[in-house]
Amino acid sequence: MDMDTDENSNAKGKEGQGKLIMVILVGAPGSGKSTFCELVMGSSSRPWVRICQDTIGNGKSGTRAQCLKTATSALNDGKSVFVDRCNLEIEQRADFVKLGGPQVDVHAVVLDLPAQLCISRSVKRTGHEGNLSGGKAAAVVNKMLQKKELPKLNEGFTRITFCHNESDVLSAIDMYKSLDLHTMLPHGCFGQKNPDKKVQLGITKFLKKAEKPSKTCSSANTDKNSPTPQPTQEKRESCGKKEESSCTMSRNVAMESEKGESPGIRSLKDKISQSDPPTLAFPSISTSDFKFSHEKAAEIIVEKVEEFMDKLGNARLVLVDLSHGSKILSMVKAKATEKNISSTKFFTFVGDITKLNSEGGLRCNVIANAANWRLKPGGGGVNAAIFSAAGSGLEVATKQQANSLQPGNAVAVQLPSTSPLLNREGVTHVIHVLGPNMNPQRPNYLNNDYDEGCKLLGNAYSSLFQAFISIVQDKYKSVKGIHECLGSTPPELQKHSEDGHHKFKRENLQNLERSKKWKGSQNSTEGLNQNNNTVPKKSKHWGSWAQALYDTAMHPERHTNSVLETSDDVVVLYDIYPKARKHLLVVARHEGLDQLADVCTEHLPLLRTMHAMGLKWINKFFREDGPLVFRLGYHSAPSMRQLHLHVISQDFDSSHLKNKKHWNSFNTDFFRDSVIVINEVSSHGKANIMDDESLMSMELRCNRCRSAHPNLPKLKAHISKCQAPFPSTLLEGGRLVVEPSNAPLS
């Protein structure tokens, strides 16, 4: 059933009643969700309905859809709701969050109790509604906790309460008991611990250990007359190259530590302590001091945000204001929506800009200050609040950067390690920015020249966003440098991580000749130069998990249960994790064709055979399943070894379509259409490979109308209803197959 926000915002309470509340309980089996509901409902004056998936089907286990339907009905009846499910993953919560609206606040209560306690309770209990008890409970709890994704406000919650022990749980129960028909709880994030504290402590210990030169290294450089014992020849030889590398690393880090902690190490600590994308929180500039029209200011903000969207990478911009009734926030949000600006890269937020993490659960490593021209504390508003929250160190650090600021400009200041704003909120930099001035008592008075004021305001936002991008880029370089020094690879520098069949694992390329070459490759221009000297090809190392398609192609007789059709050139099988209603793979049976990059002119007949086989199966689907739209193509850099063609319907109706990378791998230039590949190989001898990591992090856009959506659940809800025609670029050249076709390829 379709349940979007607009439909469910019509839920109305009883006459005279305040807003309704839907509480989504988040916790593993045994965390006490059902007990929480019973204790609140037993003594609350507010009418509650508990929705439990274990009993939703007339006392038996049911489905999420049944829970959603019952929740909608309860809200329409004016009753508040407890959603008693585990809800440990974002996708599991998303449809329930959509039920919120003007008349319904959506809360999360996170029962984040120790795993051992949850397991102990689950194992010991009897008569559980979901029959989860005894020995199997431990395995279930462990498996669920491995997938745990703690909720965040940007999912759509108005309030999140974290409970880390039984005392926290009792306090939360008392709080919800006390709610009557009219009282509401304040919005924000409460009780969250720093999720990265242990990680940060761990890396700090590791870095300290690395900063201390090893004994072997020290003794090796000791004078002959030193009383320090020298290592024996046998021990020195046993160290080998590994110890030499370790000593060199230790010396390099130690040299940095003599000068104080290096920027690279500080950046690494910062990076590890922040799991969220780099984020800039900024207030509206000059809308009060400049008496600027909110309408015009909103236009300028959105115009500049849109201008910088492509430069942000995975970074985010957040416009912040203290008031829920803020005109500038509502106007900017509306204009950003009109322009289809991705709400994952830019959104608005209500809260104190100096307490966004501790009170709002929004982690921002950079904040902007609407500064005065002297770059001094004092005055009021944001400037005074930021200087006060950051401590005296901010004023000192600012003075080292600049003594004053011209309108339309910005200056970035790194906070000292002693700053309370850094240690409490995780803010590493403050960017001072100065807007246009209409006050005759201050320098650069514009004398009511609003045209010049608009120009300066635009310059101010441009300077602010550019300064933020520079901070992110510098931080990235520092992290890369320190990891190279420590002999490791930072996670954000790896293209993708392995996570099942279609996540994009990228392992190191090695300068080795391919051990198996396709027939006739000795004549390939890639393999030989004019002097007949072999040019080594870079080959990808495939993990054991990525060999499944190769094994199927080479030995289809071993996989009769999964193979649909076999010929001398190809095998056909269903994708084991389909991303749409119909999703086939046509796999080449030629040795040495691991991926699209291996294809050359001599493989044109094979490419045409693979395409024709795909069309054959599409025609079969047309006869059996009625109207569907298909696309045939290759991933630029596949996660599975052996060249394979995807034949995929464009409904993308699948539970296996779970994240942005899944979607973008089929709906960006990363997906190379079969007809385009054949034309490229025919004309140029090879296919263009679009293996750019940024393609995987692009905003989510509908494959029909190209509208942007903040997350995958919302995109899925949209595409299930979207009837817009496909873009003309896809309708050209046979990239989409919309009706049966046996036409041969030219």
Residues with catalytic function: 644
Residue 461 CA to chain centroid, in angstroms? 25
Give dist(CA 57, CA 52) in Å, integer.
9
Helices within 564-639 (DSSP H only): 604-625
Strand positions, DSSP E, 487-538: 509-510
CA distance 92 to 68: 11
Cα distance between residue 157 and residue 163, in whole Å: 16
CA distance 49 to 36: 13
Name the residue type at position 436. Answer: P
Q: What is the DSSP letter of 60?
A: B
Q: How far apart are CA 34 and CA 50, in angstroms?
A: 9
What is the token pair recorded at 120?
Answer: 């102990």
User: What is the amino acid identity at position 170?
Assistant: L
3-state secondary structure of 586: strand
Is residue 678 within 8 Å of 607, Cβ to Cβ?
yes
532 dihedral zone (left: phi>0; alpha: psi -120 to 50; beta): left
| Residue 186 neighbours by CB distance under 10 Å | 8
Residue by residue, DSSP assigns 171-234 as HHHHHHHT--SS--PPPEEES---TTHHHHHHHHHHHHHHHS--HHHHHHTS-TT-SSPPPPHH
**In terms of Cα–Cα distance, which of 666, 735, 717, 736 is closest to 98?**
717
SS3 484: helix
What phi and psi values does residue 351 have, to the nearest 5 degrees? 165, 175
What does the alpha-carbon distance between residue 240 and residue 218 come to, in Å, rounded to a whole number?
Answer: 16
17-39 burial string, b = 16+ CB within 10 Å, else e? bebbbbbbbbbbbbbbbbebbeb
Q: How far apart are CA 186 and CA 195, in angstroms?
A: 23
Q: Taking every pair of C-alpha atoms in the chain, what is the biggest distance, in angstroms?
A: 93
Phi and psi of 189, rounded to 5°?
A: -115, 125
**In Å, how far are 220, 221, 222, 244, 654 from 229, measured between CA atoms?**
10, 12, 9, 19, 67
State residue 113 phi and psi, 5-degree precision. Answer: -85, 160
List C-alpha distances in Å: 194 to 150, 200, 363, 426, 615.
12, 10, 10, 10, 53
CA distances from 535 to 51, 514, 525, 530 (A): 65, 11, 10, 11
Residue 8 C-beta-side C-alpha neighbours within 13 Å: 26
Task: Report in angstroms the alpha-carbon separations of 137 from 121, 142, 320.
Answer: 9, 9, 44
Distance of CA 505 to the CA centre of its chain: 16
The amino acid at residue 642 is: Q
Q: How far apart are CA 585 and CA 715, in angstroms?
A: 25
Q: Give the helix ranges, DSSP H, for 487-517.
A: none
Cα-flanking dihedrals φ and ψ of residue 23, to 5°?
-100, 115
> Residue 673 in 3-state DSSP?
strand
The residue with tokens 């003075």 is 399
Cα–Cα–Cα angle for 165, 168, 170, nearest 5°? 110
